[in-house]
């Protein structure tokens, strides 16, 4: 099933900002072309997971509302190198003016989806869920989190407003994990509450006080396994899920999942992305 995209206005705002940045007062090179009906195709040059169609479409439609875009693939689909993703028909000047901005969006979002899919595949069968973080490219938070969903991952909190996440500084100011949790529940009783702990003693305190999830950040393997045993044993009985984070790479990901944590959050899904190699060429596709 394809992921639900952000609200249309959010996509349009991303695209409008990006086109303004690129076009400025006008595309002086495209103005050299005759403004005639033209076709084009979008080619993927390497294996990838597709994500970013709403942004690609919006780039072209903002410059040519009558452009036709025939997608040959769906969001979240894995494609091979050499796959033609879409065919376009529109005005020649608009096609070339929108090209770079549209590619910038879809290359980046395909990269996030492809990276996420690799991490999801690494933990397949363990029951562990791969989460993103807030380490996104500035201004592309909703777009990248959409791409994570396209790659089979799940979203952590979107921003600082939709969940309370207590970390070391909050606990230090409050005096204890329990006191920080009590203050957070009193201030924001309806929001999810996530608590980061640094020791097994803090873990027991968080589990006993109650929250929606406990983050065990940078726990060594032995300590992580102890944390799982504590959280699943009486009197806690696994009621509060554990999230692991910190020092996570693809090679060691499955071992972390097999320790029994419920979630693994990974900033690299959105932070350490390498754009997928895509190109848009005028004319019909070869063959």
Is 135 designated active site?
A: yes
> Over the Cα atoms of the chain, what is R_g?
23
Among candidates 48, 62, 73, 83, which has minimal Cα distance to 19?
A: 62
Is 196 designated active site?
A: yes
Say if CB 149 and CB 129 are below 8 A apart: no
Looking at the chain, how many residues does it have?
A: 287
Choosing from 78, 100, 134, 271, which is the catalytic residue?
Answer: 100
Q: Find the Cα–Cα–Cα–Cα dihedral 44, 49, 54, 59, rounded to 10°.
A: -30
Choosing from 46, 198, 217, 277, which is the catalytic residue?
Answer: 217
Is 27 designated active site?
A: no
Among candidates 40, 78, 46, which has minimal Cα distance to 59?
A: 40
Say if CB 57 and CB 88 are below 8 A apart: no
Among candidates 275, 282, 284, 221, which has minimal Cα distance to 252?
A: 221
Choosing from 61, 135, 185, 254, which is the catalytic residue?
Answer: 135
Q: Measure CA 76 to chain center.
A: 12
Strand order in the sheet with 129-131: 129-131, 263-265, 242-245, 213-217, 193-197, 164-166
Six-digit token string for 70? 């025939």
Is 262 designated active site?
A: no
Choosing from 64, 75, 99, 196, which is the catalytic residue?
Answer: 196
Residues acting as catalytic residues: 100, 135, 167, 196, 217
């Amino acid at each position: 099933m394809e992921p639900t995209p952000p609200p249309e206005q959010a996509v349009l705002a991303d695209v409008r900002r990006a086109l303004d940045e690129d076009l400025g007062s006008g595309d002086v090179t495209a103005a050299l072309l005759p403004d005639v009906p033209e076709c084009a195709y979008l080619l993927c040059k390497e294996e990838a997971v597709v994500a970013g169609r709403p942004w690609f479409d919006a780039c072209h439609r903002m410059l040519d509302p009558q452009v036709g875009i025939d997608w040959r693939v769906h969001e979240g689909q894995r494609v091979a190198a050499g796959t033609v993703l879409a065919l376009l028909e529109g005005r020649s000047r608009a096609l070339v003016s929108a090209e770079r901005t549209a590619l910038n969006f879809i290359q980046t979002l395909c990269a996030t989806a492809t990276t996420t899919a690799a991490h999801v595949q690494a933990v397949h069968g363990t029951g562990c869920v791969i989460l993103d973080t807030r380490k996104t490219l500035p201004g592309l938070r909703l777009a990248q989190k959409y791409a994570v969903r396209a790659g089979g991952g799940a979203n952590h909190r979107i921003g600082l407003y939709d969940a309370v996440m207590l970390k070391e500084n909050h606990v230090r100011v409050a005096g204890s994990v329990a006191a920080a949790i009590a203050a957070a529940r009193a201030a924001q009783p309806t929001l999810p509450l996530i608590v980061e702990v640094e020791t097994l003693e803090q873990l027991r305190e968080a589990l006993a006080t109650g929250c929606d999830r406990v983050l065990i950040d940078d726990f060594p393997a032995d300590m992580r396994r102890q944390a799982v045993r504590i959280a699943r044993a009486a009197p806690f009985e696994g009621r509060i899920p554990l999230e692991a984070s910190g020092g996570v790479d693809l090679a060691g990901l499955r071992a972390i999942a097999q320790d029994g944590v419920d979630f693994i959050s990974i900033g690299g899904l959105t932070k350490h992305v390498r754009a997928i190699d895509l190109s848009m060429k005028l004319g019909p596709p070869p063959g």
